[in-house]
Amino acid sequence: MSDFGFLKTHRTWEDWCGMLLGALIFASPWFPIQEEAALAGRQMAILNTLAIGLVVFGLAQLEYVALQRWEEVTTILVGLWLIVSPYVFGYSGEGFLRLYHTSLGAVVVLLGVLLLWQDWEQSDQDLLKHG
C-alpha cells in the first residue's frame, strides 16, 4: 500500500515550484500563442499579471527562506485573484490567456492549500527550522 507521508512535510521543492509558477505567470502576456490584438489596450491586465507573478515568486522565495503561515494564506488569496482577474479586467472572452490564468491560479491555490495543510499543526519554532 502506498504511503502519502511525503505530502505531510513541507519540502523545498514545493517552494521552487512556487517560484516557477510566479515566473510563468509573469511571462504569460508575452507567450507566442497569445495574439497581440487581444492585449491591445489592456495595460491594466498586463500590469496585474506582472504584479501577481512577482508576488507569487516573492512569496515562494520567502517560504524558502523563512516559513510562516501568512505566506501560504496570501498565496491562496493571490491565486484566487488570478482566477477572477480575466472577469474583472474584461479579457474573459479571449480563450488562451483566460484559460491559462485560470489554470495557473488554480495550481497556485492548490499549492498554497497543500503548504498550509502541511504546516497547520507546526509550532512557530518548527516553521523557522524550515529552509
Tens digit of each residue's pLDDT (9 = 90 or more) over 88-107: 888 777 667 888 889 999 99
Going from N- to C-terminal start, the domains of the chain cover 11-128
pLDDT band of residue 2 (cuts 50, 70, 90) is very low
Distances (CA, A) of 73 to 50, 58, 78, 104: 20, 14, 9, 17
Distances (CA, A) of 26 to 51, 64, 71, 100: 8, 19, 19, 12
Contact 21, 108 (CB under 8 A): yes
pLDDT band of residue 41 (cuts 50, 70, 90) is low
Tens digit of each residue's pLDDT (9 = 90 or more) over 5-39: 555 666 777 888 899 999 999 998 877 655 555 55
pLDDT band of residue 124 (cuts 50, 70, 90) is low
The 3-state secondary structure of 17-38, one letter per residue: HHHHHHHHHHHHHHCCCCCHHH
